[in-house]
Amino acid sequence: KAGVTQTPRYLIKTRGQQVTLSCSPISGHRSVSWYQQTPGQGLQFLFEYFSETQRNKGNFPGRFSGRQFSNSRSEMNVSTLELGDSALYLCASSSLGGAGGELFFGEGSRLTVL
């Protein structure tokens, strides 16, 4: 079956703009979580959605937001982009929300903020 699909794969934005990233989970998976990877901070948890509800949130400012649709596809949005938001954004899906679910990752969306 198809894996986790993230779009776009690469994008370049300028400071102050906003960006929306999309993630389609594996068919049948209801949990989608998002992670930010930077050279300095490593992989950090952003938030998790399960059945259209945000279940958990990491320590990121309110500029980072997300949502999940009824078909389990998820989007994350970053408003008022800063240089430090340049990162690889990874999405993962799981059949189980919260504890106990094996995660499967997409190929990521690489964001560059100029």
Partner 1 sequence: GIQVEQSPPDLILQEGANSTLRCNFSDSVNNLQWFHQNPWGQLINLFYIPSGTKQNGRLSATTVATERYSLLYISSSQTTDSGVYFCAVESGTGTASKLTFGTGTRLQVTL
Q: Would you tell me which residues interact with partner 1 (CB under 8 A)?
A: 33, 35, 37, 42-45, 55-56, 58, 88, 90, 92, 98-100, 102-108, 110
Compute the least distance from the CB of residue 58 to partner 1, in Å: 7
Shortest distance in whole angstroms from residue 41 CB to partner 1: 10
Radius of gyration over every alpha carbon of the chain, rounded to an integer in angstroms: 13
Question: In whole angstroms, how close is the CB of 2 to partner 1 at the nearest point?
Answer: 14
Q: Looking at beta carbons only, is 11 or 104 nearer to partner 1?
A: 104
| 7 vs 22: CA distance, rounded Å | 5
Rank residues 54 and 71 by Cβ distance to partner 1 and give the closer one. Answer: 54
Find the helix or strand (DSSP H, E) in which 91 lies: strand 87-94
Phi, psi of 47 (to 5 degrees): -165, 165
Minimum CB distance to partner 1, residue 34 (Å): 11
Select from 2, 43, 56, 52 the least CA-distant residue to 24: 2
